[in-house]
Amino acid sequence: MTGAPGLLRFLLRRERFGLPWWLLGATLLVLVQSTQSQNLYGTPDELAKLRQTIGSNTAVIAMSGPTRLLDSIGGEVVFEIFAFVAVVVALMSMFLVGRHTRAEEETGRAELIRSARVGRHAPLAAALALAGLADVAAGTLIAVVAAGTGLPVGGSLLFGAAITAVGVLFAALTAVAVQIFENSRAVYGAVALLLGAAFVLRAAGDVGSGALSWASPIGWGQRTFPYTGDRWWPLLFPLVASALLVAVAAALLRRRDFGAGLVPARPGPAAAGRSLRNAYALAWRLQRGSLLGWAVGLVLLGVAYGSIGETIEQYVADNPEVAEFLPGGAADIVDAYLALTVGTAALIVAAYGVSSALRIRTEETSGRAEPVLATATSRLTWLAGNLSVTLAGSALVLLAFGLGEGAAYGLTIADAGQVPRLAGVALAHLPAVWLLVAVVVLALGWAPRPSAALGWVAVGYCSVVTLFADSFDLPGWVQRASPFAHTPQVPLADLALTPLIVILVLAAGALVTGYAGLRRRDIGY
């Protein structure tokens, strides 16, 4: 343990820019949910109506939590947001522990640290302490925000504590996983799988008898029933489990060599497959994993949104205030809801497109582009190889959302026609997504250094315009530069082709101009 306090200070310093974003994200989720829920279902009457609507909708229960939480307004907040906040905090804990243990061993930096007066257990202890502090901070902030928005203090404390407990448990799970696997990607894969299993188990449990929820850390957290039962004892499960897991991790750490795991890394193929022969195949190979992840994520999001589609009609009839948030008002309520959800998903797909296009810059700055461009691969082929995955990938991810939403909505109203319909609706946003990708390419050609900042500012700007233009009464000229503001709000509005064609032409122009810049500039600077 020698050196652990010093290491912890060092880790806090290294995380001083990244960690606040995680905490902010988790806190904002609670802040937004608490304000919205209290606005929408502030009276016992409205809450009772909500219980009626949602209590019988298994899809909503599967995405949220046990219906007993709906007994009070605070519980309603927990019902809607707990699982998501728990996932965010669990991921935060996983990355904090993984990044400062296994990933450090992989890069060899930990070797330098361990060669100093630092004990064998110190890096793990410091990483766990860091994650623990972050989890406590997240819990505290959530309790403060919940109480600050007017929810009872006792329940708010329990809400925060339950989130902390889930976070600590996943930190401890990660601590075991880093002893088992030799590379950090395998660690994150394994822990994320467990996190997914925790979500699925509690979903199945909450829809059914509730027994399965007791096998899930997220279920333990929810079954403290903040604001509706306020019982603290279920938190004993995550705390005891965490202590056991940390003990196991420490024991495994004592038995393994530095840099080794219990499961040795599997060897890969000794020769490249027949198809791995050009820039296109390379880009596909490098990005297929993350593309699959995004596609699965958006199918699930589509299913989540689509499953509420039918309920929304009655829900809005019960709560006229909600209609204000939907374009088109109370008429055509389901179409308005679908248009809103597809518009939101398109922004997420734009984030995928920008992150995928920015890989081109990462390839360049990491030095991996150099050996490729030193072969008979032209700059055009190199760019086209990467962009083909980005452009086709954006289409695929959008389509995944549309199919997911169409399938789920179609199932609830027994209409298979919703699947192709919503797939088409989703694809109407493709030109706008492509334009954002083209903006990144333009930056890659003419202003490569700030390209990442420019790309993300563009996504941020479009998100603000889409999500807040109406509620904040932003002036029209502010919205005009967002391609999403010009995309027809199908299925609520008709599919107008002219704006889509204009957006496509602009995107093509930006791509060509970006390539012209890339062709004439130095590579690697």
Partner 1 sequence: MATSSQAISITALRKSFGGATALDGLDLSVATGEVHGFLGPNGSGKTTTIRVLLGLLRPDSGQARMLGGDPWRDAVALHRRLAYVPGDVTLWPSLTGGEVIDLLGRMRGGLDRRRRDELLERFDLDPRKKARTYSKGNRQKVALIAGLASDAELLLLDEPTSGLDPLMESVFQQCIREVKQQGRTVLLSSHILAEIEALCDRVSIIRLGRTVESGTLTELRHLTRTSIAVETAQPLTGLDALPGVHDVVVEDHHARFDVDSAQLDTVVRRLAPLGVRSLTSTPPTLEELFLRHYGDDHVADAQVPA
Contacting residues toward partner 1, per CB under 8 A: 106, 182-183, 185, 265, 267-273, 276-279, 281-282, 285-286, 289, 366-368, 370-378, 520-525
- Residue that the structure tokens 């600590």 belong to: 168
- Which candidate, 498, 487, 502, places its Cα nearest to that of 347? 487
**Minimum CB distance to partner 1, residue 445 (Å):** 14
| Comparison of 9 and 519: residue with beta carbon closer to partner 1 | 519
Ramachandran category for residue 82: left, alpha or beta (phi over 0 → left; psi -120 to 50 → alpha): alpha
Provide the minimum distance between the beta carbon of 520 and partner 1 in the complex, in angstroms, as a whole number. Answer: 7
Comparing CB distances to partner 1, the nearer of 58 and 107 is: 107
Q: Which is nearer to partner 1, 39 or 362 (CB)?
A: 362
CB-nearer residue toward partner 1: 27 or 179: 179
Q: Which of 480, 519 has the CB closer to partner 1?
A: 519
Question: Nearer Cβ to partner 1, position 321 or 370?
Answer: 370
CA angle 226, 232, 238 (to 5 degrees): 105
Measured CA distances, 347 to 90, 352, 431, 432 (Å): 24, 9, 12, 9
Give the residue with the Cβ less far from partner 1, 202 or 361: 361
Cα maximum dimension of the chain: 71
Closer residue to partner 1 (CB): 217 or 261: 261
Tell me the one-letter amino acid at 187: V
140 versus 377: smaller Cβ distance to partner 1:
377
Q: How far is the CB of 361 from partner 1 (least distance, A)?
A: 14
As a whole number of Å, the end-to-end CA separation of the chain is 43
Cβ burial of 480 (10 Å; 0-12, 13-18, 19+) is exposed
181 phi and psi, to 5 degrees?
Answer: -100, 150
In three-state secondary structure terms, 261 is coil
Contact in structure between 265 and 189 (CB atoms under 8 Å): no
Min dist. Cβ of residue 444 to partner 1 (A): 15
- Which residues fall within 8 angstroms of residue 346, CB to CB, at 6 or more apart? 398, 426, 429, 432, 433, 484, 487
- Which tokens in the block code for residue 157? 């404390």
Please give the helix or strand (H or E) that residue 72 lies within, else none.
none
Q: Least distance in Å: CB of 382 to partner 1? A: 10
Half-sphere exposure of 187 (CA within 13 A, CB side): 33
| Residue 92 beta carbon to partner 1: minimum distance, rounded to whole angstroms | 23
Peptide bond preceding 491 in cis form (omega within 30 of 0): yes
**R_g (Cα) of the chain, nearest Å:** 25
Closest approach of Cβ 42 to partner 1, in Å? 51
Nearer to partner 1 by Cβ, of 144 and 373: the residue is 373
Q: How far is the CB of 276 from partner 1 (least distance, A)?
A: 5
CB of 119 to partner 1, least distance (A): 26
d(CA 473, CA 216): 43
Q: Choose between 35 and 183: whose C-beta lies nearer to partner 1.
A: 183
Could you give phi then psi for residue 70, rounded to 5 degrees?
Answer: -75, 5
Helices 497-520 & 430-446 angle (0-180, nearest 10): 20
| Cβ at position 513, least distance to partner 1 in Å | 19
Q: Least distance (Å) from partner 1 to the CB of residue 181?
A: 12
